[in-house]
């Protein structure tokens, strides 16, 4: 099969198109022919050797977000049948090999694609969607009427977090540059703040939860937005020294969070899509052969929504070759 592999940690040029053996599903696993693969900031950090590479070995095939067709079941699998269209986030943070024509992983790392979701959109949803879902529902336990601040509200995780929070009945403030305010409002945000001109830590108060997608000083400052006892859930805590100590000083909580593979969470996301309460915005789509360009696009830090690689066509009787 074709795959994008790297033999050393480094810049985008390290990503090379190669031919490798396709995997075989072990008991409890499915083999998925990948039609599209999502690209995330963590892919860029991992390629550079900056994140989670302690559990990865070279040569390495990047990528965790995939959508495609089940072509073979390992022993004991009953969740899917060959021909089913599925999407998922297998194995994270261990190697999944998403930038490839085939992926083998536990069946419960996937769920069926709902109506109304294209293959490209499905590939863009799992990692960012599960991050937002788990942060909001499992860690922050958002309830109707609670107040949530989503930083980076136009980004991959952020634009999904706004919608999920609204679906759970929250009152949502999002931060974004002025050019993206209309986009964030269209997602359902009740208020949008331009972080480039406004000090969010002063302008926002009494939040029940903050979904924090930036590290460093920005992560520390947004602790001040919380009510006493509120919670900040950080996807960048590793790059925010002193976060927990500062939270304790302010009488709030800070939780460092890393997403897990989660079949039940994927089912919930698919349900929100089917109900019309969640949509994925695609910022850019590249062919598999241009994975390096996709990484450079992500590394620019101005993405609205998600970036996807197209890999191949689905293999099932009701093919969605147009991505719909």
Can you give the residue ranges of every domain in the chain?
2-125+282-310, 128-256
Q: 159-190: per-residue pLDDT in tens? A: 999 999 999 999 999 999 999 999 999 999 99
**Sign, CA torsion 196/201/206/211:** positive
What's the full length of the chain, in residues? Answer: 324
Helix H or strand E encompassing 133: helix 126-133
Residues 255, 274: Cα–Cα separation, whole Å: 31
- The DSSP bridge partners found for residue 147 are 171
Residues 201, 178: Cα–Cα separation, whole Å: 18
Q: 98-111: per-residue pLDDT in tens? A: 999 999 999 999 99
Q: Is the bond into 283 cis (omega within 30 degrees of 0)?
A: no
What Å distances lie between residue 34 and 65, 105, 126, CA to CA?
10, 12, 14
Q: Which of 139, 148, 142, 80 is nearest to 109 (CA)?
A: 80
Residues 174, 176: Cα–Cα separation, whole Å: 7
Question: Would 2-125+282-310 and 128-256 be classified into the same CATH topology?
Answer: no
Query: What is the fold, at CATH topology level, of the domain defined by 128-256?
Result: Rossmann fold (3.40.50)
- Pick from 129-138, 236-245, 273-282: least confident: 236-245
DSSP single-letter state for residue 136: I
Q: 41-99: per-residue pLDDT in tens? A: 999 999 998 865 567 889 999 999 999 999 999 999 999 999 999 999 999 999 999 99
What does the angle CA 119 – CA 298 – CA 18 come to, to the nearest 5 degrees?
65
Residues 65, 311: Cα–Cα separation, whole Å: 12
Query: In this structure, which CATH number among 3.40.50.300, 3.40.640.10, 3.90.180.10, 3.30.70.2860 belongs to the domain 2-125+282-310?
Result: 3.90.180.10
Non-local (6+) Cβ contacts of 198 within 8 A are: none
DSSP single-letter state for residue 134: I
């Amino acid at each position: 099969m074709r795959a994008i592999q790297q033999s050393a940690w480094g810049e985008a040029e390290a990503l090379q198109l190669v031919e490798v053996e396709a995997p075989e599903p072990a008991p409890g696993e499915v083999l998925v022919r990948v039609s599209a693969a999502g690209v995330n900031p963590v892919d860029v950090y991992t390629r550079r050797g900056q994140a989670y590479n302690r559990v990865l070995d070279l040569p390495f095939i990047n990528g965790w977000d995939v959508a495609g067709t089940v072509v073979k079941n390992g022993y004991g699998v009953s969740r899917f049948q060959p021909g089913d269209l599925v999407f998922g986030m297998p194995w994270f943070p261990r190697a999944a090999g998403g930038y490839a024509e085939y992926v083998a992983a536990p069946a419960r790392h996937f769920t069926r694609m709902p109506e109304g979701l294209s293959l490209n959109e499905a590939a863009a949803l799992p990692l960012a969607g599960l991050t937002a879902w788990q942060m909001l529902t499992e860690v922050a336990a958002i309830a109707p009427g609670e107040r949530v601040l989503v930083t980076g509200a136009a980004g991959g995780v952020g634009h999904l977090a706004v919608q999920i929070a609204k679906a759970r009945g929250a009152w949502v403030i999002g931060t974004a540059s002025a050019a993206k305010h209309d986009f964030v409002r269209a997602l359902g945000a009740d208020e949008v703040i331009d972080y480039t001109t406004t000090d969010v830590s002063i302008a926002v108060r009494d939040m029940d939860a903050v979904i924090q997608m930036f590290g460093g000083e920005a992560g520390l400052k947004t602790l001040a937005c919380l009510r006493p006892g509120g919670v900040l859930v950080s996807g960048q805590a590793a790059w925010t020294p002193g976060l927990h100590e500062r939270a304790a000083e302010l009488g709030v909580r800070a939780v460092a969070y890393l997403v897990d593979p989660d079949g039940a969470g994927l089912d919930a996301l698919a349900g929100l899509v089917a109900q019309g309460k969640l949509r994925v915005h695609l910022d850019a789509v590249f062919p598999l052969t241009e994975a390096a360009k996709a990484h450079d696009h992500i590394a620019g830090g101005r993405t609205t929504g998600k970036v996807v690689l197209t890999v191949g066509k689905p293999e099932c009787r009701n093919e969605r070759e147009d991505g719909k």
